[in-house]
Chains A and B, each alone.
Chain A
Amino acid sequence: MKNIYKYIWVLSLVFCCITCGKNDIKISRTIDEVPVIFPDYKDVTVPYNIAPLNFSYMGKEACRLIVAGVDDEMQIEGENGLFSFSGSAWKKLMERNKGGTIELAVAIQTGNEWVGYKSFFIHVAPEPIDAYLSYRLIPPGYEGWKEMGLYQRNLENYTQTAIYENKLTNGNCVNCHSYCNRNPDKMMFHARAEFGGTVLIRDKVIEKLNTKTDSTMSALVYPYWHPSGDYIAFSVNKTKQSFFNHHPNRVEVYDLASDVVVYNVHTHQITYSPLTKSNQAFETFPTFSPDGRSLYYCSAHAVDSMPKSYKKVKYSLLRIDFNPEDMTFGDKVDTLYNAPLNGKSVSFPRISPDGKFLAFTLHEFGNFSIWHKDADLYMVNLQTKQVYPLSEANSDDVDSYHSWSENSRWMVFSSRRTNGLYTRPFITYIDEKGKAHKPFLLPQENPLVYYKQLMFSYNIPELMVKKVEVSEHEIAKTLRYSKEINVTVK
């Protein structure tokens, strides 16, 4: 027995020597420059439960990171420029500095001395972010794909698992994943082409729906769950895409016609209001208010000569009453953002779960903002009706699809700011006044290498309070073999 203790003691000593063997450095002098790092985590605000924000110093020199929190300091040696936090040290750091700030200083070795860059800060918000993020990974293209899938990422570490991959159904297209109140117990997505249909999952019961009806122009497209879980608002769209000869946007995706309808998950019926299904307008991107009594959507005056007049299509932000008791609509429409008046076009209205703010994407024209370099995030304060840009979150490139966290303090959104084509998810803190703080790129174990090598775009990032538990096999089985439930019109 004595020998075993001796053995353990020696091992512990060796371990300590390995881990603590390098002496902490002392900075001889500092320079008045900020280091170039990737991702740019300088002065970002993060939730305390986020995975470690590893990053790379982009210079070639030997480097150290000195991290100072409220009551402790640690040093991390850069490996090929990469600073990797240990999971436990990071967790401790976040817990101790919740609501505060940590200071980070990058030091580089020049000759025998260590020179420090100007330090920067990471603000640790006291509010957590939802534990999971789901998204589709697709080639950032045009019409072709080979592999694509819906994935979920544990935001508290780096684990990514598949919700569904198209390899299980002969490489078909899967899209428009959506969850009721960010809870994947009630979720849906569409499968197109082979084994096509809408997959609707409620408490692990999977249905395959045929959502094309004689009264609607297409199968159901862009979804949003009613907070009760009884309904899903959808748009129906005749969508086309064309390619520019030289425009930096490269592609324009546009509707020739579109409407908004509401689907009842119990009766498998859809209904609509003449105000949301008009021949004089293109209605799309529906979203319910958190109390379930309002339906917000985008609407543009219908244009005949599409796509030649694609620039004339500008979507306003509208609201109509919805009565969940009998699935009926109000008889008047409110306008929150008037496109003809203001000259721009609205996409993806999303209301914070506390009902105070409505975030949307604003761009020059059309509705498919991911291909619009000018697309930016905007906010409506629903109490004051004030509309303003989320300047801290926006960039010179595309900033588009967004999703709120359960506590209304975090918003994840798609951005092409890193290279102009491959969409990446950024997370921004929204304070109580509805102001965005500088966003941070979704953390990875080695973000520089990971994002360099990833040949897919993150599409439709959606925050989730927990993991999707339904097996891929069950979904594939339903898509392949289950009889479709035909959706009808009420």
Chain B
Amino acid sequence: MGFRNKNSVLLGIGFILFFVLGCYIKETQQYALFYREQQQLFLFDLIYIGELFRQPGGFAILMARFLVQFFYSLWSSIVLTTLLLALITLSVWLILRKIGDYWYAFPLSFIPGLFFAASLLDNNYHYEGVTAYLLMLLFLFIYSTVFKRNKRLRLVLGCIFTIVLFYLAGSVALLFAISAFLFDCLKKREWALLSSLYVIFAFAMGLVAVQGGWLGIYTYAYTPLCYYEATVTAPFVHYIGWITLPACMLITGLVGYFAERSRYLQTVVCLVIVITGFWSFWKSYHLNMNANLGAFYQYEYYTVNEEWDELTAVSAKNMRNYNGANYLNFSLIQKGVLAENLFLYPQFGPASLVYIPKDKTPDVRLAHVLFAMGNMGAAQNVAFNACQSLNGYNPTMLKMILQIDLMRGSYAVALKYIELLEKTLHYSEWATSQRKFLFNDGQVEQDPVLGTGRRDFPNEEAFVLFDSPMDDLYKILDTNPSDVKAMQYAISYLLLAKDINHTKEFIEKYYGTPGLKSLPVPAQEALVFFYDYYHTLDEAYAVQHGITKEQLADYQRVDLDYCKNHGVTQETFDRFAIFKEAYGKVRQSQSAQSLTQYKNTFWHYLLFVQI
């Protein structure tokens, strides 16, 4: 095959493979890449850029943050990441070609890039791990190209590159040093052994960085852990992208050795290596894939972009835990149908609405839910904690904090956040649009979101999330009964808690107010059940179970007229009559099969779902 033809074929194969890689990234990590954007702010500000540039590895961080800021769009995240991996592969190929122009070794150059694709599945792996690697490859390519005949200049250049690379990109300098040394040895360049100086320089730089207090431990100075979240143990897959570069260089050298003896053997060696490489990649991909996290990134994408129907669809399909249930119900509240559609989906108690883990520190989900509930004090606390994310600020959480500060009338702090967001590309317009609210209570109160939020601040001073979220909801609604979302969350909370007594009290208090003009069907079902239950309850049994005669009389005050006056329709009464009859039969037959048609009702949830 001629040189031009061979290159054209390789180029064609390369394009096809990168199209496939792009599809793979789209399928596996488009939402994870989006969430990376939610973990940083890139500021177009000289002081910010200068500060990043001053720290070792800062240029790689700068490159990464610059790219990641565009990941708010799924397509740009896929295109940019694929392009970055393509550049890595191309650089590896160009370097390998200098060792030996054996096109059988072409697939080898894909292996490091593929492992970086696997590394990116893990959000604890910083994106600068990829940009630093690319920078290193660029330095290595230049090193392999210039001063071919001048060994002294080459040596000086190698040393300078090692030092500069350590400063620009961090620990990849050691990989550069090893690879450059290996390259010189494989190419049998003059003074090749002296190139081991680069390795010594890289170690010396690490020593300076650790002793100077820039890095905590030597592991960060010499390994890919430099680009990994310090508090988490890194899986081995993150080392493979590094190991495979010198390995590929060695193998290319070996392929050359075999090529001189047997073309058949060369092909076999290449095939074995490539198959092993791809198999390891496939294994590592499966090890790194976290289904729960993958779903979370997707929920966050739809939440941040306010695509509520999509959020309902994906979270309903995939209710593995309370997180999924919270996002599902959150999407329903945003569409205004939470209370009405509550039992169209599986529910597992009040935690399905708002799950509060012990460590609520980085919980963006909880911040969204609390904000929707009108619990602004709690939302601001959780959002502030969640804002301190991987690389600075979570922009969505920062926006939430800013809005709550506007609601509070803390305008000076709000201005601080506006000025910060105005330095970003994607959020500056939104930030500027918030300026009109500064020091202008009238504008805040007229705004649908900010005005409602301000009116939600309870009159009664209390700590938030102290007992249960319902206590906070009571206080919010006491102050602002026209907050429809808080109203729906409250009534849903009581229904999911199977608390028919408080549901009845709640309806009594709020039915007919602006937030509860009509009674959602599940609440009607609860009220009818309340009426039926206390009217058929044996008095002696009630007393035996702690209900006084006066209480029972009070409960029995709820009659048909009461129910009708509080929003229960005839249709609900009729359905209840049929349900009651069917339930009676079920109790005799011990089989709940015939009640499956009622599984979307409060009655079914009350009697058959354990919480």
A122: CB under 8 A from chain B?
Answer: no
Q: How many chain B residues touch A (Cβ–Cβ < 8 Å)?
A: 49
CB distance from B537 to the nearest CB of A (A): 36
Chain A residues whose CB sits within 8 angstroms of the CB of B362 once the complex forms: 144
Tell whether, in the assembled complex, residue B212 and residue A473 are in contact, meaning their CB atoms are under 8 Å apart: yes
Tell whether, in the assembled complex, residue A421 and residue B413 are in contact, meaning their CB atoms are under 8 Å apart: yes
A37: CB under 8 A from chain B?
Answer: no
Q: A455 CA to B423 CA in the complex, in Å?
A: 14
Tell whether, in the assembled complex, residue A247 and residue B385 are in contact, meaning their CB atoms are under 8 Å apart: no
CB distance from B519 to the nearest CB of A (A): 28
Q: Which of B352-383 contact A (CB under 8 A)?
A: 361-362, 375-378, 380-381
A238: CB under 8 A from chain B?
Answer: no
A354: CB under 8 A from chain B?
Answer: no
Tell whether, in the assembled complex, residue A243 and residue B416 are in contact, meaning their CB atoms are under 8 Å apart: no
Chain A residues whose CB sits within 8 angstroms of the CB of B385 once the complex forms: 141-144
> Residue of B at shortest CB range from A242?
B463
Chain B residues whose CB sits within 8 angstroms of the CB of A194 once the complex forms: 231
Tell whether, in the assembled complex, residue A146 and residue B389 are in contact, meaning their CB atoms are under 8 Å apart: yes
Chain B residues whose CB sits within 8 angstroms of the CB of A144 once the complex forms: 361-362, 384-388
Name A's interface SS: loop
Contact partner of A246 among B45, B217, B458, CB < 8 A? B458
Q: A248 CA to B475 CA in the complex, in Å?
A: 17
Chain B residues whose CB sits within 8 angstroms of the CB of A452 once the complex forms: 416, 419
Contact partner of B375 among A167, A245, A422, A449, CB < 8 A? A245
Contact partner of A245 among B48, B416, B462, CB < 8 A? B462
Tell whether, in the assembled complex, residue B216 and residue A245 are in contact, meaning their CB atoms are under 8 Å apart: no
Tell whether, in the assembled complex, residue A167 and residue B465 are in contact, meaning their CB atoms are under 8 Å apart: no
Name B's interface SS: mixed
Q: A245 CA to B463 CA in the complex, in Å?
A: 6
Tell whether, in the assembled complex, residue A455 and residue B420 are in contact, meaning their CB atoms are under 8 Å apart: yes
Contact partner of A168 among B216, B380, B408, B413, CB < 8 A? B216
Tell whether, in the assembled complex, residue A245 and residue B377 are in contact, meaning their CB atoms are under 8 Å apart: yes
B213: CB under 8 A from chain A?
Answer: yes
Q: Given contacts A146-B388, A170-B230, A245-B458, are A422 and B413 in contact (CB under 8 A)?
A: yes
Tell whether, in the assembled complex, residue A142 and residue B420 are in contact, meaning their CB atoms are under 8 Å apart: no
Q: A19 CA to B384 CA in the complex, in Å?
A: 47
- Against B, the Cβ 8 Å flags (1 = close, 0 = not) of A219-259 are 00000000000000000000000111111101110000000
Q: Given contacts A144-B384, A245-B457, are A421 and B420 in contact (CB under 8 A)?
A: no
Q: A143 CA to B363 CA in the complex, in Å?
A: 12
Tell whether, in the assembled complex, residue A420 and residue B413 are in contact, meaning their CB atoms are under 8 Å apart: yes
A52: CB under 8 A from chain B?
Answer: no
- Against A, the Cβ 8 Å flags (1 = close, 0 = not) of B391-405 are 011000000000000
Chain B residues whose CB sits within 8 angstroms of the CB of A76 once the complex forms: none
Q: A250 CA to B409 CA in the complex, in Å?
A: 13
Q: A269 CA to B559 CA in the complex, in Å?
A: 72
> Residue of B at shortest CB range from A167?
B216
Q: A265 CA to B393 CA in the complex, in Å?
A: 41
B525: CB under 8 A from chain A?
Answer: no
Contact partner of B231 among A165, A170, A242, A419, CB < 8 A? A170
Name B's A-contacting residues (CB within 8 A): 45, 47-48, 210-213, 215-217, 230-231, 361-362, 375-378, 380-381, 384-390, 392-393, 408, 410, 412-413, 415-416, 419-420, 457-466, 472, 475
Name A's B-contacting residues (CB within 8 A): 139, 141-146, 162, 165, 167-171, 194, 242-248, 250-252, 307, 418-422, 449, 452-453, 455, 471-473, 476, 480
A-B contact pairs, 14 of them (CB 8 A): A141-B384, A142-B384, A144-B384, A242-B464, A242-B466, A243-B378, A245-B376, A246-B377, A250-B377, A419-B416, A452-B416, A453-B45, A455-B420, A480-B216
